[in-house]
Each structure stands twice: as structure tokens, then as C-alpha cells.
Amino acid sequence: MYRTYLLMSTVFATLLALMVVVFCFFVDPYNLYPSLNFYENEQEADLFYHLRLHKPYAMEALKPDHLIVGSSRSARLPPDSLAANDEQSYNAALPGVTLREIRLLVEHAQAIKPLTSVLIGIDYYMFRQGYSSISAHFEAARLRKIQPTIKQNLAHYFQRFEDNWKSLLSVDALINAWETLYVKVESQRNYKSDGTWEANLDGPKRGTWLFSMLVKQKYQDFTQKTDQLDMAELNALLKFCDDHDIQAWVLISPLHASVMNSVNMAGQWPQYIDWQRQVIQVSSTYSNSARVFALENSPNLVLEAIDQDSRFFLDGVHYTSQAGRQIMTCLAGSNCDSTINLATLNNTNSTPYLDAVTGLMENYRHSNARDFARVQKWLDLSAQAGR
């Protein structure tokens, strides 16, 4: 009797587990098995909190020749402009990514298939001391290595086993698969197969409200964090690209003048400018393989009025899909929009460029007096005209 009960319980548990595995496998809530195409979701899951799991596998499936890496600010840069007809390209941007994570992603792509080029979208926060480490949700063992040790290989295979286990036979996977299939909740973001994504920001979510949030956020960031800048990870990343004959394009992600002025009001504008100067100096060490691009000296871009119809910026930090397409068109060297002054920077021309950026930041209070007053109000600095 006892043995029969035990056998039936074991069979039932096994069948239940197999049903969960099959269900999660076909629904694929984390989009880890897209090449199988057994089932096409009518409603995609919101991958935002699972991008560090999803993108390494997507890169293995696609085997890109050209890669875009960076934070969420680089997520709207379409990679197809980098590739020729017979080449593959992918945007591996991750929210809140660190430079060390970027370097590991580039090595992962290189281990899959030798890269031709990589576009690196950089942000000031990446260079703060203590921010170069790996975030809690980034599993380095998930990524491939160029010349892995035995220990690294074992860790890699164990991580892959754990990923498959958690994506097919876990409570989280079951809940996410069920919600993807049956719970009709509109995703907050749109994801594309090339790795790009964008938030659904229509109506009241656009315009002044978002600008106010980012202006206050950046002011707090620059007020509370005044660490020295750390260029070690950028140097290691560019050296890796140089050693493996990868053309590295470093894009200094632009800010809207409202956010520039919040940095200035926080008293950190000189350090913000010095950060760009140091990036240029480090990149110049690898002048044969690395180039630095920037576009904060574009008046029509950074001085754009804050309203719901902003053409370039969503919130003063993240740019629109249209702007991302325009930036990539300019980088590709064809039909560049006249409103974008894309500069290729080096040690010779960096000072005039940075002076021009400072001039636009200072001019904002005069050319956009209404919006500048808004910035002061948001920061409760109405009595100040900036520092």
C-alpha cells in the first residue's frame, strides 16, 4: 500500500513537473528560445527586469558582427545602420549597466563570433569610483570567455543549467508564463528583435512631468555623489577592442540643457566637462581602433523646448526612437540631419567643443527663459540663477 502510494505520488509529481516545463518552454516568457518558434506570443512579456538573462542568449542566436552596448539611453539606437547586407548587428544595451558589464558583454560577443565594430554609449555615472563592479542581477558566468579556464568553464555550464532550470521549472517562470499568455496587461515597453526597446510614454507621461523627474534626479545624483572619476574600466575595454582588432566607437550620450543646468546648479559642471576630457584622452591612446563622438554642441537638440512634442528627448536624458535613428544615420556617415552636430573628438579639438557645450548650457537661461524658470522651480532654487 505504502509503495503504491509512493509510486503514484512520484508519477504525479513527475507529470506535473513535465507539464510545467512544457508550458514554460512553449510560452518562453523570457524569450530564451526564439529560434524554435513553436509558439508566438500574442502578448510579449515585459523583459525589462530579465534583460540580463535574455540578451546573452539572444546574442548567441544572432551571432552579431556589430554590437551596440550602453545603458538604457542607448536602447533606442538601431544597430542595422552598422551592418552591411550580409552582416548581423545587435543592441545589447542594459539598464544601469556598468563598464565592467559592458566589457564582459563585448568579450561574450567576441567569443561567439569575432566582432567588426562596437558602439559604446557612455554615461557619467559609469565612471564614479565604486561603480565599476558588476550589479547584483548580472551573472558573469553566463557569458562566454575568449580563453576560459577550467574553473570558468565549469561555472559557465553550471550557470547555463541554472538558467534553463529557472526558466522552465520554477514558480517565477510559471507565473510569468501564465501572465504572458492569459493576463492582458499592457507592457510598459516595446521590445524588438534587434535588441532595442522603448517605453510606452503617451499622453500625460510625456513632456514636462518626465523632464521634472530627471532634472531632480540628476541634481540629487550630482549633489550627493562627488567621487573622483575612474577611467580604469574604459581603458581595459578599449584595450580589449584594440587587441582583437575591433573598431570601437565611443558615443558620449548627450543631455538636454535643462539637465545640464541641474548639473551646474549642483556645482558639478566642471567635473562633468572634465569627465568628457578624460574620456577623450584615454580613447586617444587607442587612436588606431577607437574614436569618440559627441553631439551636445547641437543647439537645436539641447535647447529644444520642454513640451509633449519634443522631437529629440523624452525626458532630458533618454532620447526618442526618431532621434536614435538620426544619430545612427549620422554615425554611418549618410544623410545626417542638419540639426545634429556630430563631432569626432580628439585631444586637439576637444577644448573648443567643450567650450561650446558650456556656452549652450549657460545660454539656456536666456534663450529658454520659461523652461529655465521651470528647472529652478523643480529644484526649489528660484532665488538662484545657477552657479
pTM of this prediction? 0.90
CB 366 within 8 A of CB 360: no
Between 159 and 16, whose confidence is greater? 159
Q: What is the pLDDT of residue 174?
A: 82
List pLDDT tens digits, range 143-195: 999 999 999 999 999 999 998 888 888 888 888 888 877 776 566 778 888 99
Q: How many CB atoms lie under 10 A from the CB of residue 349?
A: 12
Q: How far apart are CA 123 and CA 294, in angstroms?
A: 12
The cell for 365 is 537661461
Domain membership of residue 112 (yes or no) is no
Domain membership of residue 109 (yes or no) is no
Domain membership of residue 131 (yes or no) is no
Domain membership of residue 3 (yes or no) is yes
Q: Listing from the earlier edge strand, what are the strands of the sheet with 290-294?
A: 89-91, 66-69, 117-122, 247-252, 290-294, 343-345
Domain membership of residue 155 (yes or no) is yes
List pLDDT tens digits, range 335-375: 888 889 999 999 999 999 999 999 999 999 999 999 999 99
List pLDDT tens digits, range 302-338: 999 987 677 899 899 998 889 999 999 999 887 888 8
Q: How far apart are CA 138 and CA 283, in angstroms?
A: 26
Domain membership of residue 18 (yes or no) is yes
Q: What is the pLDDT of residue 226?
A: 64
Question: What's the total number of domains in the chain?
Answer: 1
Q: How many CB atoms lie under 10 A from the CB of residue 358?
A: 18
Domain membership of residue 158 (yes or no) is yes
138 has pLDDT over 70? yes
Beta-sheet strands, E only, within 207-332: 247-252, 290-294
Domain membership of residue 156 (yes or no) is yes
List pLDDT tens digits, range 26-37: 888 888 886 555
Which domain does 50 fall in, by range? 1-62+141-186
Enumerate residues 6+ apart whose C-beta is below 8 A from 85.
none
Q: What is the pLDDT of residue 35?
A: 55
List pLDDT tens digits, range 266-281: 999 999 999 999 999 9
Q: What is the pLDDT of residue 41?
A: 47
Task: Please report which confidence band the pLDDT of residue 201 belongs to, taking 50, 70 and 90 as the band edges.
Answer: low
Q: Measuring CA to CA, how many Å separate 384 from each of 22, 182, 219, 266, 379?
A: 62, 53, 14, 12, 10
Cell 516595446 found at = 190
Helix (H, G, I), strand (E, B) or coil at 142: helix
Alpha-carbon torsion angle 15, 21, 25, 28, nearest 10: 130
